């Protein structure tokens, strides 16, 4: 196996998931229980990641929740949504620096709506970890559709079999494998190190 690149999903790989407190507070603001909020949050997420306008997504969310979201409420929910995914895993980001020092190329490939992607592009230094960036909302294509993997690999300048893809969703990992990439389900940093790190002969984390 001759790996030349490692491709990372964003949510639950490069960052931690929303906390229970964050979700319960957002749910209360919407007049929902936490399970109701989470169900509505994900119901039309694929369209949102494909490029649906944020205001349209949150208006639909409001309708599903029995509420009429005005402009101020929409902006507040966008702010909270960004905060949900803003706790980056510095261990993984540090390891990415190790990968690049070892000569491997790195990429981020993620289903993201515009507010999250624009926030990441505006976060000083974050995208400096990557040689190539693929955000679904910018392409109108989402994982596990083949085109998005093609775009990422082509941008890295490697063959599919020379890349390893890490994602927390099984269907997206299977989509990558179908396109010829090596791919593994990422659950936690600790489990990845224990189960997959040595298998791919990747550099050890320096910290």
Q: Which domains does the chain have, with CATH numbers?
A: 5-16+88-200 (3.40.50.1000), 20-84 (no CATH)
In angstroms, the CA 105 to CA 100 distance is 6
Banded pLDDT at 198 (limits 50, 70, 90): confident
The answer on pLDDT for 207 being more than 80 is: no
pTM: 0.96
What is the CA angle 100-101-106, rounded to 5?
A: 5
Whether residue 160 is preceded by a cis peptide bond, meaning omega within 30 degrees of 0, is no
Q: What's CA 154's distance to the chain center, in Å?
A: 19
The owner of tokens 């981020």 is 108
Alpha helix ranges (H) inside the chain: 20-29, 34-43, 45-50, 54-64, 71-84, 90-101, 114-122, 136-139, 146-156, 170-178, 189-192
| In the chain, % of residues over pLDDT 70 | 100
């Amino acid at each position: 196996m001759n790996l030349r690149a490692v491709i990372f999903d964003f949510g639950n790989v490069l960052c931690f998931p929303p906390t229970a407190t964050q979700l319960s507070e957002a749910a209360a603001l919407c007049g929902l229980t936490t399970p109701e909020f989470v169900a509505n949050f994900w119901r039309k997420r694929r369209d949102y990641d494909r490029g649906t306008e944020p205001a349209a997504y949150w208006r639909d969310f409001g309708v599903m929740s029995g509420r009429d979201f005005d402009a101020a409420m929409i902006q507040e929910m966008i702010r909270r949504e960004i905060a949900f995914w803003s706790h980056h895993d510095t261990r993984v980001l540090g390891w990415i620096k190790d990968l690049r020092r070892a000569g491997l190329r790195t990429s981020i490939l993620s289903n993201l709506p515009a507010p999250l992607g624009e926030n990441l592009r505006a976060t000083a230094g974050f995208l400096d970890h990557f040689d190539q960036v693929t955000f679904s909302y910018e392409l109108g294509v989402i994982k596990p559709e083949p085109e998005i993997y093609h775009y990422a690999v082509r941008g890295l300048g490697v063959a599919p079999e020379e890349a390893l893809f890490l994602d927390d969703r099984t269907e997206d990992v299977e989509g990558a494998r179908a396109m010829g990439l090596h791919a593994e389900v990422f659950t936690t940093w600790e489990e990845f190190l224990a189960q997959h790190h040595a298998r791919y002969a990747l550099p050890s984390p320096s910290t």
